[in-house]
Amino acid sequence: MRHKVTLIPGEGIGPEVAAAVRAILEAAGVQIDWEEVEARSDKASATGQFVTEGAVESVRRNRVALKGPMGTAIAGGAPSINVALRKTLDLYANVRPVKNLPGVKSRFENVDVVLIRENTEDLYSGLEHEVVPGVVESLKIITEKASTQIAHFAFKYAKREGRKKIHAIHKANIMKLSDGLFLKSIRNVAPQYSDIEYKELIVDNACMQMVLNPQQFDMLLLPNLYGDVMSDLAAGLVGGLGVVGSANVGNEAAMFEAVHGTAPDIAGKGLANPTALLLSSIMMLDHLGERSAARRIESALEKVHREGKHVTQDVGGTAGTAEFTQAVIGSLRPS
Ligand code: NAI
């Protein structure tokens, strides 16, 4: 089956890793018509627009997108294009599977946990103001609607992917109303999925448990801020942001993206590691129903990392982007 997918290569190393992923998917025989669109942070700051209309329209039309990294100004400047895209397209669920990749050095083995993060509200609503000079207020928005929606998403994901247990992460002992509503909403949903074990954990304890014994977790369900922090923490357990994929999913569209940044220090030098975007593209293939191609690419990627001969410098190898890409293509089993 042919698919039409929006490609937002992004900035810095984005175009390099996007080209590598395209080549691997094509070699695997997946039939995709890519609609390449631009969404750049330099345009955002120049025009005051967060995203080009073209990018949003294209994702709305095709319902599936693959996206490279984009720069974001810190403490001032234009708002994040990444956050704007997620909001505009109402991609309310962030999905981050975290699993050891054979051959990639990490502090833990046998980690296999999926983090589901509510993506649209909490302290990311951007509702901040200066009350008086020297005092600012930032509003944490939690709604029953969004919390219930993300709960259903997580439990359905668990059923579909054969997962057994979900921990909801919160700080409702202190934020009794906001995190309390998040928890209550999930508690209303959990009994509808009685085959999935449901547990709760306070976020500080959850962080400690994750770095002590991450293998005890199957799935975590988190509000936006804790989800942002813990999903990077989780990636760190298996080797960092370069070896995990990510998806932002809504009812109308899904956008699969690499979670590392634009890597300005190596951009344009042919050194970037496409693994993260490739893992995101494997999630995209599963979403598109291309499960067999997804498994073939996954095995080829694991083989290249396990052998370690053609991996990039960030994971201890000597290969450039092109050599790594060719190694993955050469390791694809016939379909
Ligand atoms: P970064 O992830 O771009 O780089 C951190 C370090 O990791 C650098 O040494 C870089 O060379 C290395 N690295 C990252 N990805 C790599 C890859 N695929 N292959 C090999 N090495 C890789 O983080 P940094 O420097 O904090 O951010 C740079 C820019 O990226 C900033 O403007 C930031 O806002 C943006 N950013 C964008 C994200 C997104 O679009 N999702 C996520 C994180 C940062």
Task: Point out the ligand 1 atom lying closest to the alpha carbon of residue 41.
Answer: 32
Q: Tell me the pLDDT tens digit for each residue of 40-60.
A: 666 655 554 555 668 888 999
Contact 291, 283 (CB under 8 A): no
Mean pLDDT within 319-332: 98
Supply the residue whose CA is at minimum distance from atom 13 of ligand 1.
263
Q: Tell me the CA–centroid distance for residue 201 and ligand 1, in Å.
A: 31
Whether residue 207 has pLDDT greater than 70 = yes
pLDDT for the residue 77? 59
Confirm or reject CATH 3.30.70.3290 for domain 1-94+239-335, answering yes or no: no
Task: Assign 73 a pLDDT band (cuts: 50, 70, 90).
Answer: low
Residues 6+ apart with CB under 8 A from 207: 229, 230, 233
The whole-number pLDDT of residue 49 equals 56
* 297 against 76, higher pLDDT: 297
Q: How far is the CA of 98 from the centre of ligand 1 (A)?
A: 18
Protein residue with its CA nearest to atom 37 in ligand 1: 261
CATH fourth-level superfamily of 107-237: Isopropylmalate Dehydrogenase (3.40.718.10)
Q: What is the pLDDT of residues 123-171, one digit of tens each?
A: 988 789 999 999 999 999 999 999 999 999 999 999 999 999 999 999 9
Residue 275's contacts (CB-CB under 8 Å, 6 or more residues apart) are: 101, 242, 243, 301, 305, 312, 315
- pLDDT, residue 4, reads 98
> Is 1-94+239-335's fold the same as 107-237's?
yes
Q: What is the chain's mean pLDDT, rounded? A: 93
The pLDDT assigned to 74 comes to 58
Distance CA 185, CA 155 (A): 13
The answer to whether the CB of 259 falls within 8 A of the CB of 244 is yes
Domain boundaries, given as residue ranges, for the chain = 1-94+239-335, 107-237
User: Atom 11 of ligand 1 has which residue's CA nearest to it?
Assistant: 263
Res. 84 pLDDT band, cuts 50 70 90? confident
For range 313-329, the mean pLDDT: 96
* Residue from 64, 22, 97, 3 nearest 274 by CA: 22
The answer to whether the pTM exceeds 0.85 is yes
